[in-house]
């Protein structure tokens, strides 16, 4: 596995060096610089009903306009709007902060990546367009999305961004990123340092040279924001969920995480322009559809294999033969305990500072298993119900980790409700049904596991890709 990974990373590094000449940060051409959302772009902002009940005095329209004058979002892939281990311009339109900003009616600029995006090829696009049909097509698409991606604005408008979500980022990464700091876990060589320096997820947001650019948090605070949303910490536990071999059980030490959290909170409190903050705690990522119980319809257990009862395996697994192929109940408990410990810190901060809080942990554990009815613009519930099932549930994208556009709309509404109740704002309801009708995965669902000829290539991509992410981030 280690030799395969090193070979793959060498290919990535070589290709990225070749592609550098084609990335001209000063060549914006006629492309739109960055997505701008606000009162002037309200074609899908069918919002009328007000979210929640204010615990205090309701803001006037003028007060609310000042409150949301400059909104920035800080976080990881769940903030960036990642779907299918991929970030691209079309689906980023439905990131939770972008949908929230449209409901508020405030400007919101995102670092858009030209389709087919950065990261792995989105499985929905890959299956529907035959990108996994042959090995040569699979590799060519992976090289495109990993190395030859482009920011739409060619970084001309870096100073005007509002979304500072970075796919794969830990809390430590958004505070300060040294492009070589984790590469030595894989190999101590100049090549590995180069790959780390050119980390595509970091580069796509903070700048092409992250070792010299300011961190995501510093750039966000340089905007003098009046309102901030923070959803960070998922990658401090998720790699324990998605990496099941080589005894590579990756969890951030809780004391280190808390120390970094205190630094982040202090930076937020020191910025005098900030009038309001909303925190989102961590979901229980052992319950996301990336992990499936074994055995199941698509995955067999080798006869005689000593697999502990209650173990779970990645959705793309077709057979498990040893404990290293699964997440065991003991490992699941370790991940859950770490998630609870981080959430206690986040929840305590919200209470101490009087900040709004969204309980994503309870949502994943208690609601997605039974289903959530989509809300209309007038605040009434529809008869459309989505759940957390893989591929067909309507809440998650095909990586089994990130929500689809509809899922992000639900999250944005939960955030709006919490903000209204905490600060007395009047953010209207986002029409989840309208988003669902435009969500290609909901309108034309596809399960990659029903395409065994393509699943072999997809499995290789997901296995390799998740481990590269674990090393780079």
DSSP string, 374-397: EEPTTS-EEEEEEBS-TTTSBSB-
Q: Are 420 and 100 in contact (CB under 8 A)?
A: no
At 471 the pLDDT is 53
Rounded CA gap, 212 and 354, in Å?
A: 35
At 244 the pLDDT is 53
Residue 428 β-bridge partners = 50
Helix axes 452-472, 135-147, angle to 10 degrees: 30
Peptide bond connecting 182 to the previous residue in cis, omega within 30 degrees of 0: no
| Closest to 119 measured CA to CA, from 92, 100, 143, 95 | 143
Rounded CA gap, 97 and 413, in Å?
A: 10
Domains parsed from the chain with CATH numbers? 2-285+336-472 (3.40.50.1110)
Instruction: Give me the residues of the chain with pLDDT under 50, please.
Output: 1-43, 45, 47, 180, 182-195, 245-247, 473
Sequence length of the chain is 473
Q: Are 168 and 472 in contact (CB under 8 A)?
A: yes
Residues near 318 by beta carbon (within 8 Å), at least 6 away in sequence: 298, 299, 300, 455, 459
In Å, what is the CA distance from 373 to each residue of 20, 44, 104, 210, 409? 47, 20, 23, 42, 12
User: Of all helices (H) and strands (E), which one includes residue 248?
Assistant: none
Residues near 53 by beta carbon (within 8 Å), at least 6 away in sequence: 420, 421
Residues near 444 by beta carbon (within 8 Å), at least 6 away in sequence: 128
Rounded CA gap, 111 and 90, in Å?
A: 12
Helix axes 329-353, 235-242, angle to 10 degrees: 170
Quick one: 163 exposed, middle or buried, by C-beta within 10 A (0-12, 13-18, 19+)? Answer: buried
Please report where in the chains the tokens 């793309």 appear, as a residue: 316
Q: Which tens digit of pLDDT belongs to each residue from 229-273?
A: 999 999 999 877 776 544 456 789 999 999 999 999 999 999 999
Rounded CA gap, 361 and 339, in Å?
A: 9
């Amino acid at each position: 596995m280690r030799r395969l990974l090193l070979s793959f990373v060498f290919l990535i590094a070589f290709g990225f060096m070749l592609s550098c000449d084609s990335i001209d940060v000063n060549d914006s051409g006629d492309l739109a610089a960055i997505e701008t959302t606000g009162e002037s772009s309200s074609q899908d902002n069918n919002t009328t009903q007000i979210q929640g009940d204010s615990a205090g005095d309701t803001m006037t329209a003028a007060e609310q306009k000042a409150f949301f004058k400059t909104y920035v979002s800080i976080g990881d892939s769940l903030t960036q709007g990642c779907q299918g281990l991929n970030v691209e311009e079309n689906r980023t339109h439905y990131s939770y902060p972008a949908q929230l900003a449209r409901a508020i009616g405030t400007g919101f600029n995102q670092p858009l990546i030209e389709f087919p995006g950065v990261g792995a090829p989105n499985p929905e696009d890959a299956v529907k367009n035959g990108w996994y049909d042959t090995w040569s097509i699979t590799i060519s698409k992976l090289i495109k999305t990993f190395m030859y991606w482009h920011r739409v604005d060619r970084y001309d408008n870096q100073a005007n961004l509002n979304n500072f979500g970075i796919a794969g980022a830990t809390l430590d990464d958004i505070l300060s990123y040294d492009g070589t700091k984790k590469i030595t876990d894989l190999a101590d060589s100049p090549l590995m340092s180069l790959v780390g320096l050119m980390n595509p997820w970091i580069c796509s947001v903070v700048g092409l040279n992250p070792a010299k650019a300011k961190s995501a948090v510093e750039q966000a605070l340089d905007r003098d924001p009046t309102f901030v949303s923070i959803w960070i910490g998922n990658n401090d536990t998720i790699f324990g969920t998605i990496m099941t071999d080589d005894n590579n059980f990756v969890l951030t030490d809780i004391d280190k995480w808390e120390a970094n959290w205190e630094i982040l909170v202090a930076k937020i409190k020191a910025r005098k322009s900030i009038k309001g903050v909303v925190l989102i705690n961590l979901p229980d990522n052992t319950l996301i559809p990336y992990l499936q119980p074994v055995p199941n319809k698509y995955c067999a257990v080798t006869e005689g294999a000593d697999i502990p009862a209650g173990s779970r395996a990645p959705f793309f697994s077709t057979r498990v033969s040893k404990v290293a192929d699964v997440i065991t109940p003991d490992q699941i408990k370790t991940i859950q305990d770490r998630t609870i410990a981080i959430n206690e810190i986040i929840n305590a901060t919200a209470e101490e500072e009087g900040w709004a809080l969204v309980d994503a942990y309870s949502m994943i554990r208690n609601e997605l298993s039974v289903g959530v009815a989509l809300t209309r613009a007038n605040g009434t519930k529809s008869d459309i119900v989505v759940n957390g099932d893989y591929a067909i549930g309507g809440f998650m994208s095909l990586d089994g980790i990130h929500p689809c556009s509809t899922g992000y709309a639900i999250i944005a509404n939960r955030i709006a409700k919490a903000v209204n109740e905490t600060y007395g704002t009047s953010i209207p309801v986002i029409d989840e049904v309208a988003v669902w009708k435009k969500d290609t995965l909901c309108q034309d669902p596809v399960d990659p596991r029903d395409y065994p000829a393509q699943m072999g290539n997809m499995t290789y991509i997901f296995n390799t890709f998740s481990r590269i992410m674990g090393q780079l981030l």
